[in-house]
Structure 1
Amino acid sequence: MSISLLLEMAVSGEPDRTAVVSGEMRLTATELSALADGGAGVIAASGAQHVAYVGTGGALLPLLLFSAARAAVPLTPLNYRLSADGLRALLDRLPDPLVVVDDEYRDAVGTGYRVMESGEFVAAARTADPVAEFADPDAVAVVLFTSGTTSKPKAVELTHNNLTSYITGTVEYASAEPGDAALICVPPYHIAGVSAALSNLYAGRKMVYLTNFDAGEWVRLVGTENVTSATVVPTMLDRIVGVLDDTKATLPSLRTLAYGGSKVALPLVRRALSLLPDVGFVNAYGLTETSSTIAVLTPDDHRAALAATDAAGLRRLGSVGQPVPGIEVQIRAEDGTVLSPGEIGELFVRGEQVSGRYTDIGSVLDDQGWFPTRDVAMLDEDGYLFLGGRSDDTIIRGGENIAPAEIEDVLVEHPHVRDCAVVGPEDPEWGQIIVAVVVPTPGTEPDAEDLRAYVRAQLRGSRTPDRVVFRDELPSNATGKVLRRELVAELNESSKESA
């Protein structure tokens, strides 16, 4: 079905419920629907084949999602943090777009495009002749560019059916309590931002937007808007924990806190759980190509892992949980053999919510509909999924394959390590070497040799970092993913300079 139906269902269920809070703007479900009809009229009158959005989101994201859907054209939210050249390179890949842009990014978009500023679009939507077309369920609803941390960004095509299959398969319609509110601070160009807009509307939850993340403001909004659920990325969780430590705030309204986007260090998870013992924590794992979440570690899973006394139970806190309804998973060896529980290989997934299709490339699904995630993974005997990082991140040192995550999981438990990333810069003798980039715990000055010995005591000698370097912070993108390519380039360059 079309994603438009999700909004229609929200209106039919509770038409006067506040659906969106974004700064000074508050919209009921009915007001959002009427504005989306007008927005569709603006898009249709423009003759555009695509809608692009450059901005921080807030109410503009759900408005443009449903306006584009009702005009039967795809929407692409773009990373507003990109350079002007980077933005234009992506815009040039979209067919005849209407570009809706927040004021502060207007100059970056430049000329040569059909452009409307965000305020201008909203004003026009209020007076335009309404349009409410139902798109073909198999038509593309949203196109999202991958982060491009290791290569040229790919344009992922998500159909109406992909998105609605995810929502209806994982969210119960109108299941929210009357006062429930979700705090959304993930960027609009990320799949988590898109799915948050759709899932919270479908569940009947008020959506409160924080378009520019600040941990103190996040904590304040949880209190003033009586927020009951929220989703954050690792860097956000780290800063929120810092504010909670300083202020001793308890966030009594908050019932659920989901984290994801990239791997979260277990010491940080344990600290967050101790500060918010009455909050249900959720670890959500998904990809752009899968329309968001495909596996979840539930609040009960978190509590059971914390209370466990056996090694398997304790280890489960580091998993991403079990597959969501409608998703099948396989772990495969390099030759395609499906592996048994406990064996490490590449994760493949299948389901209605899985797209696996890229503009200009086409589908990468195999003959049976399986999508290769390129994530190294393992399933345990009870079906819990453990990730070992991207296959592209694997370090090949002297012919031996080494997963950085294996070393990172050990290092980050050292009391003097706040965060770390293990990468493999070039080496003339070994091909690649193991370098641990460490962010020290504030107030400590860890010794590199002590950290190497700490790893050697727990892993095979071949996993011991050849070098340990220290940084004040790790480079990351807006969803908390460490930009390993930047670290490798920096280390390669420093090796050349010292040669």
Structure 2
Amino acid sequence: MNISMLLQMSAQTFPSRIALTYNSEHYSYKQIYDAAQQAAQVFQYSGCSFIAYLDVNTPAVPIAIFAAAIAGIPYVPLNYRLSKSELESLQARLDKAYVISNQVPEFSLPDYTYQLTDAFYQNMLAAGETDEALHPATDSEESIAVQLFTSGTTGTPKAALLQHKHLMSYILNTVQFAAAAETDATLVSVPPYHIAGISAMLSSFYSGRRIVHMENFDAMEWISLCDREKVTQAFVVPTMLSEIMVKHKQKRQSLDSLQAIAYGGGKMPLRTIEEALQRFPNVNFANAYGLTETSSTVCLLSPEQHREAFKSDRPEMRNRLQSVGKPVPGIELQIRNDENQSLAAGQVGEVFLRGDQISGKYREKELVQYDGWFPTCDHGYIDKGGYLYLTGRADDIIVRGGENISPGEIEAVIRESPAISDVAVVGIADEHWGESIAAAIVLAEGHSIRDDEISVAVTEKLRSSRVPKKIVRMKHLPYNEMGKLLRRKVKLLLE
């Protein structure tokens, strides 16, 4: 199946239902479908090889991605926050691209077509129904639906490839068609170039849930938009939820319509989710773990599992609030060591995944093994109940005197102190040990803590070899817009 079927089914089932709200304007499923059909013909006529989108969330996003699917052309959302040189480098890797952007760039590339975002979606919507609808090729499920450039924090960004079959597998295994009520609305504030934004859009269109687009995240505006548009669902990253909690306490708006919040993209501080569960007892919280290469969510800590852990007095149960839950339907999971051997519960190793929604393919190479297993480069372990805990990325591991040390276990101990608002542990060069441990800490407002108190806590919970040799206090830690800690930046600041 082709992902355009998600829109077509909803447009046929409830054509007049509102699919998208943007700047207080409402667009129905039929309007979006007709606009996508018009755009698909424009794309085909242009002879382009890629559809590139370079802008914030607008109605052009669903029109472009579904039109690209109908036309059989890969959709490539680009990070508008990148520098001019970084964008030039990425666009140079796209031959004959049709670029939808909020401004025509100063530089131009041969065989490129540029279209201003507002003009694109307004013209497509105004055109109305086509005389003859286009239909995707019958074998289109094997073709590339979306190409996403990775963040590139460890080098040149890779071009991750998601075929129609990968995205459709995720949707069909996790979303029920037309399950949403007409009053349901999901607030999408994550950027359109991230897999979370794409999966939120596809799942909402398939379920029949209205999307409320937010151009750029602002905590106060997020709260106001929830109340104004009667938002029922939302996806946030941990840093977003932390800011929302602070602003909500100041603004004291009801958020009565909010029924569910999914979060992911980074590690959620335990105190933040505990406070959220206490403040919003009627909201269903879910922790979603996924990767670009896996077409979004592969593990989920459900609302019921959140409440069960939050109410429990047993440490092993309470600790599950720090897990990412269990695999979603259609996903197999293993923890393996460096010799590619499967590990038992409680043992830390690399997370491997297998399932129809997993691509693991890039324009440059393919990482999926011959038997379908994908090495995520994430490290973690599974507890006896089957819950997955992440301890960090493979390239985050600190090698001290030949011993592999996970920053996550040290961060978890330091974070237990009420004096610590945030912490990042990294390895820095050491002539004797090769690497030694350094910690950047952010103090909670009105608190202080001595270095020796941190050392004692780490020694008691772990051992002396895990004690940071260097501790630096910072006003805040560097995160990207999706809430991922930029550990390499921390390392540069501490070395």
Q: Bin the TM-score by the shorter chain.
A: over 0.9
| 1:365 partner letter | V
CA distance in 2, matches of 1:58, 1:272: 29
Indicate the residue corresponding to 2:79 in structure 1.
79
1:311 Cα deviation after fit: 2.1
| 1:168 partner letter | L
1:451-477 CA distances to partner (integer Å, 9 max, x unpaired)? 222222322111111111111111111
1:34-54 CA distances to partner (integer Å, 9 max, x unpaired)? 000111122112110101111
CA distance in 1, matches of 2:488, 2:322: 24
Indicate the residue corresponding to 2:31 in structure 1.
31
1:62-103 CA distances to partner (integer Å, 9 max, x unpaired)? 111101111110011010000011011111111211111013
Indicate the residue corresponding to 1:233 in structure 2.
237
CA distance in 1, matches of 2:183, 2:411: 41
| 1:436 partner letter | A
Indicate the residue corresponding to 2:310 in structure 1.
306
Indicate the residue corresponding to 2:408 in structure 1.
405
Instruction: State the secondary structure of the residue aligned to 1:424.
Output: strand
What's the RMSD between the two structures over aligned residues?
Answer: 1.5
Q: Residues 42-61 of structure 1: matches in 2 within 5 Å?
A: 42-61=42-61
| 2:236 partner letter | V
Indicate the residue corresponding to 1:158 in structure 2.
162
Instruction: State the secondary structure of the residue aligned to 2:114.
Output: strand
- How many residues of Structure 1 are paired with residues of Structure 2 in the alignment? 489
CA distance in 2, matches of 1:466, 1:272: 34
1:269-326 CA distances to partner (integer Å, 9 max, x unpaired)? 1111111111111000000000000000001001010111222111111110010000
Indicate the residue corresponding to 1:196 in structure 2.
200
**2:60–2:120 Cα contact (<8 Å) kept:** no
| 1:462 partner letter | S
**1:342–1:380 Cα contact (<8 Å) kept:** yes
Instruction: State the secondary structure of the residue aligned to 2:461.
Output: coil
CA distance in 1, matches of 2:305, 2:333: 19
TM-score (norm 1): 0.95
Indicate the residue corresponding to 1:442 in structure 2.
445
1:489 Cα deviation after fit: 2.1
Runs of 4+ in 1 over 6 A off after TM superposition: none
- Do structure 1's residue 319 and structure 2's residue 334 form an aligned pair? no
1:306-364 CA distances to partner (integer Å, 9 max, x unpaired)? 11122211111111001000001111111111112222111110111000100022x21
CA distance in 2, matches of 1:182, 1:141: 23
The match for 1:348 among 345, 352, 368 is 352
- Do structure 1's residue 140 and structure 2's residue 144 form an aligned pair? yes
Q: Structure 2 vs 1, CA of residues 109 and 204 (structure 1 numbering), >3 Å: closer, same or farther?
A: farther
**2:92–2:109 Cα contact (<8 Å) kept:** no
- Do structure 1's residue 183 and structure 2's residue 174 form an aligned pair? no
CA distance in 2, matches of 1:316, 1:427: 35
- Do structure 1's residue 386 and structure 2's residue 427 form an aligned pair? no
Instruction: State the secondary structure of the residue aligned to 2:262.
Output: strand
Instruction: State the secondary structure of the residue aligned to 1:309.
Output: coil
Structure 1's unaligned 5+ residue stretches are 493-499
- Do structure 1's residue 469 and structure 2's residue 446 form an aligned pair? no
- Do structure 1's residue 114 and structure 2's residue 113 form an aligned pair? yes
- Do structure 1's residue 256 and structure 2's residue 249 form an aligned pair? no
Q: Structure 2 vs 1, CA of residues 110 and 408 (structure 1 numbering), >3 Å: closer, same or farther?
A: farther
CA distance in 2, matches of 1:328, 1:295: 10
Instruction: State the secondary structure of the residue aligned to 1:425.
Output: strand
**1:261–1:285 Cα contact (<8 Å) kept:** yes
| 1:380 partner letter | D
1:25 Cα deviation after fit: 3.2
**1:40–1:131 Cα contact (<8 Å) kept:** no
1:464-494 CA distances to partner (integer Å, 9 max, x unpaired)? 11111111111111111111111212323xx
Structure 2's unaligned 5+ residue stretches are none
Q: Residues 416-495 of structure 1: matches in 2 within 5 Å?
A: 416-492=419-495
| 2:119 partner letter | E
Indicate the residue corresponding to 1:496 in structure 2.
none
Identity fraction in percent: 43
Instruction: State the secondary structure of the residue aligned to 1:116.
Output: strand
| 1:90 partner letter | L
**2:286–2:301 Cα contact (<8 Å) kept:** yes
1:124 Cα deviation after fit: 3.9
1:217 Cα deviation after fit: 0.7
CA distance in 2, matches of 1:486, 1:461: 26
